[in-house]
Chain A
Amino acid sequence: QKEVEQNSGPLSVPEGAIASLNCTYSDRGSQSFFWYRQYSGKSPELIMSIYSNGDKEDGRFTAQLNKASQYVSLLIRDSQPSDSATYLCAVNVYSSASKIIFGSGTRLSIRP
């Protein structure tokens, strides 16, 4: 079983609509959850972090965490063409040391 799972997409959303990106994880001990945006040929850029159950809002972005369901999501309101990118979910795991594991990413396309 993959430790962090995301739908690879592509997810196509009309401009101005809400884009909803989902992620599930397998390690119940995970405490920290991150969303990164990666444009083609560029490095990942941190856009949200969330550590507690519930919602966290930052501008047009809302991260949602449900530890009981082992589920984390990212909502992007008023989607813009510049939001077209791959979105990576990252979750911390602990075995011999703590590290973060990335999901395979969801490719988001905003159509004008």
Chain B
Amino acid sequence: DTEVTQTPKHLVMGMTNKKSLKCEQHMGHRAMYWYKQKAKKPPELMFVYSYEKLSINESVPSRFSPECPNSSLLNLHLHALQPEDSALYLCASSQEAGLANYEQYFGPGTRLTVT
């Protein structure tokens, strides 16, 4: 089973709102990722968690705040977003995140619209 789940599927939020995206996997993977994908562009890496510790932050603005409560869960807290942050937010997981990358499996994504 290579299932990664994400909630919600769609989210509309105002620029003053606070919301959270959630991601869950039950494959025993120890690495989890957040990506952002704009229309007709490839996914862009935002954050990597390895063994529940943040290992990569791709200079993401502080209005995006990741959290990894345990090895199965990954959250992305959103606050004071801008309309240009509207995108598909993808969660992925892999067995490890070491030098020899393992296969990453993506969840269905959350379609975020900031008004």
Contact = CB atoms under 8 A, between A and B. Distances in A.
Interface of A: 31-32, 34, 36, 42-46, 49, 51, 88, 90, 92, 94, 96-105
Contact of A45 (B43, B98, B106): B106
Contacts, number: 59
B115 to A, nearest CB: 20
A32 B100 contact: yes
B21 to A, nearest CB: 13
Nearest to A4: B42
Main secondary structure of the interface of A (DSSP, over half): strand
A99 B106 contact: no
A109 to B, nearest CB: 15
Interface residues of B, number: 23
Contact of B90 (A43, A49, A101): A43
Interface string B81-111: 0000000101000000111111111111100
Contact of A97 (B48, B102, B103): B48
B42 A102 contact: yes
Given A43-B109, A44-B106, A49-B103, A98 B98 contact: yes
Contacts of A101: 45
B55 interface: yes
A90 B2 CA distance: 19
A62 B109 CA distance: 28
Contact of A103 (B42, B97, B99, B103): B42
Q: Which 3 A-B pairs have the closest CB atoms?
A: A102-B42, A92-B101, A32-B101
A100 B104 contact: yes
9 contacts: A43-B107, A43-B108, A92-B101, A98-B100, A98-B101, A99-B48, A100-B45, A101-B45, A103-B42
Main secondary structure of the interface of B (DSSP, over half): loop
Nearest to A105: B42
Given A44-B90, A88-B42, A98 B97 contact: yes
Contacts of A90: 104
Given A96-B56, A100-B45, 12 more contacts: A31-B99, A31-B100, A31-B101, A34-B104, A92-B101, A98-B97, A98-B100, A99-B56, A100-B101, A101-B45, A102-B43, A104-B42
